Structure 1
């Protein structure tokens, strides 16, 4: 009496019949994850415009400028920041004169800020012979239709 084991293969090894093993890596899931991360980054990038929370007023026309100019921020509470660093109004003029004499600077003021700190900043910029560029946001089309 004879018994056949392993399908009658005398070497004892199995033979695979059909398609060969896959040697390629499926990159479709990887591409999907990368595209989702790209979309998330694109949607959150506009939030990271500046590190200090200031809600600037909106206007109809804004010209873009890509210059590397100093930015003076005035928060709703009247706090002052020069390039994201806290600064005292009494020191602002001398700092601007030393580093940015005869240049331009951006003034970002929260729309809820009182006029007093804004006027003091503008006076310090004038004393340092620095041209003031006021930062605003363009109006949304929905804002224009409401008027």
Structure 2
């Protein structure tokens, strides 16, 4: 195993076997590479850039993510809603369950202001007090 017995030629081996360590590290790397893209919440949309410098605001709680894709489909977290009534009913239930929870709207930059305003009015009709808009930080090009 790690020692040679007998004769005077061997003794104890003092070499470190790093092969198992490298195998474990590579497996962990692959796992992290596969899991990391799945950690994004909401739908992938191209966010518009911010025109103001970075202002870090601490959000007290984890917001509920609303998404509107470029084809005008509505999502709450990862759940798609075909019509506005079902979307608004889902928002109402979420607001009743946690009245102080914030809403974060991720709308694709190709949408018009009217499209975004329609989603904000649906949220207001569901009882939301405030809706935050997601944008890309000033100076960044990719969406989060």
TM range (shorter): 0.5 to 0.7
2:124 corresponds, among 126, 129, 142, to 126
Which residues of structure 1 form unaligned runs of 5+?
1-13
Structure with higher RCO (Cα < 8 A, 6+ apart): 2
Q: Find the partner of 1:73 among 67, 77, 80.
A: 67
Runs of 4+ in 1 over 6 A off after TM superposition: none
| Cα root mean square deviation, aligned | 3.4
Q: 1:58 aligns with which of 49, 58, 76?
A: 49
Q: Distance in 1 between matches of 2:60 and 2:69?
A: 23
- Quick check: 1:136 aligned with 2:135? yes
Q: Answer 1 or 2: which has greater helix percent.
A: 1
Q: Distance in 2 between matches of 1:51 and 1:29?
A: 40
- Alpha carbons 1:76, 1:114 under 8 Å: kept: no
Instruction: Give the TM-score normalised by the residue count of structure 2.
Output: 0.67
Within 5 A, what are the aligned runs for 1:72-91? Answer: 72-87=66-81, 88-91=83-86
User: Does 1:97 pair with 2:88?
Assistant: no
TM-score, normalised relative to structure 1? 0.66
**In structure 2, do the counterparts of structure 1 residues 31 and 44 end up closer, same or farther at CA, with 3 Å as the change threshold?**
same
Higher mean displacement: 53-62 or 121-130: 53-62
Q: Which runs of 5+ in 2 are unaligned?
A: none
Equivalent pair of 2:88/2:126 in contact (CA under 8 Å):
yes
Task: Tell me which moved more, 37-46 or 50-59.
Answer: 37-46
Q: For 1:140 and 1:29, how far apart are their aligned partners in 2?
A: 43
User: Whose Rg is larger?
Assistant: 1
SS of alignment partner, residue 58 of structure 1: coil
Contact 1:89 1:120 (C-alpha < 8 Å) held by counterparts: no
Residues 129 and 57 of structure 1, relative CA distance in 2, 3 Å threshold: same
User: What is the Cα deviation at residue 65 of structure 1?
Assistant: 3.1
- Deviation, 1:78, is 0.6
